């Protein structure tokens, strides 16, 4: 989940690269001029049809999601634990299915924003890590289905490798983990290493993996790639959709 500043940066990046971004959101303030905004709940069953009736994109970025309930495992009930399954996973499933069944034009790229927690776990955020891992599987399954149907679509799951304190999600995570370690949020952030820039989180929007060696499972199809394992490819893209 991005902060408003990062959303604006993302929109400015795609405009800089010659795209006309359309941002479909649950709700937040103005993004930037020249950006079309459609307010909707991306986890609603009818959301994909509403979005694709408005625009068939060259690239679809699904980075919306819920802030997990931050608490130890024994203090989580099922509703709290499953929060990200009912938002992040559901909207990724719905839009991946719709991309395949509409179908979107050949050459379209669908990016599901996952998390480094999918690889390392996140013990204070309930089912968040599992939900983010499932987004990786969804991208893999959808890619295989695109190949089977010869649709020419590309599905990717992108996994930022560390907590982003500037986001609403990152702030909640920092506070929870700092408290569990008896540290102040500021001191906890100092233990996290190099701070990513807004450009790291909101890069230009046409990418391909550097090579098959990046796949930790050594499969031919893409399982996931992280932001530092991407290289820009210049495509004549015209339209993009970002779900925040």
- Reference 32, options 52, 71, 6; nearest CA is 6
| Contact (CB, 8 A) for 117 and 157 | no
Q: What's the pLDDT at 196?
A: 59
Are 148 and 165 found together in one domain? Answer: no
- Reference 88, options 29, 42, 120; nearest CA is 42
| Contact (CB, 8 A) for 29 and 4 | yes
Are 122 and 219 found together in one domain? Answer: yes
Tokens of 131: 């939900």
pLDDT tens-digit profile of 229-241?
333 333 344 555 6
Predicted TM-score of the model (pTM): 0.74
Residue 228 has pLDDT above 60, yes or no: no
Are 226 and 202 found together in one domain? Answer: yes
Are 175 and 208 found together in one domain? Answer: no
- Reference 228, options 191, 205, 203; nearest CA is 203
Residue 137 has pLDDT above 90, yes or no: yes
pLDDT tens-digit profile of 82-91?
999 999 999 9
Does 105 map to a domain? yes
- Reference 114, options 222, 218, 241, 35; nearest CA is 222
Average pLDDT on 2-16 reads 49
Q: What is the residue-averaged pLDDT of the chain?
A: 75
pLDDT tens-digit profile of 40-56?
888 889 999 988 988 88
Count other Cβ atoms within 10 Å, centred on residue 206. Answer: 19
Full residue range of the structural domain in which residue 135 is found: 82-157+198-244
């Amino acid at each position: 989940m991005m902060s408003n500043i990062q959303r604006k940066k993302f929109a400015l990046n795609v405009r800089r690269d010659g795209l006309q971004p359309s941002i479909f959101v649950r709700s937040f303030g103005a993004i930037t001029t020249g950006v079309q905004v459609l307010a909707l709940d991306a986890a609603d069953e009818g959301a994909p049809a509403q979005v694709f009736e408005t625009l068939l994109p060259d690239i679809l970025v699904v980075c919306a999601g819920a802030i997990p309930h931050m608490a130890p495992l024994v203090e989580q009930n099922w509703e709290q634990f499953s929060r990200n399954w009912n938002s992040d996973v559901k909207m990724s499933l719905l839009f991946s299915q719709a991309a395949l069944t509409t179908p979107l034009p050949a050459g379209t790229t669908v990016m599901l924003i996952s998390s480094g927690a999918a690889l390392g776990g996140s013990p204070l955020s309930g089912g968040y890590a599992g939900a983010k891992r499932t987004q990786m599987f969804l991208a893999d399954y959808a890619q295989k289905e695109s190949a089977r149907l010869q649709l020419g679509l590309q599905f990717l799951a992108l996994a930022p490798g560390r907590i982003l304190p500037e986001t609403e999600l990152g702030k909640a995570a920092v506070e929870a983990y700092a408290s569990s370690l008896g540290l102040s949020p500021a001191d906890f952030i100092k233990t996290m290493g190099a701070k990513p820039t807004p450009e790291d989180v909101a890069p230009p929007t046409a990418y391909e993996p550097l090579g098959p060696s990046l796949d930790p499972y050594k499969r031919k199809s893409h399982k996931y790639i992280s932001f530092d394992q991407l290289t820009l490819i210049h495509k004549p893209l015209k339209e993009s959709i970002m779900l925040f």
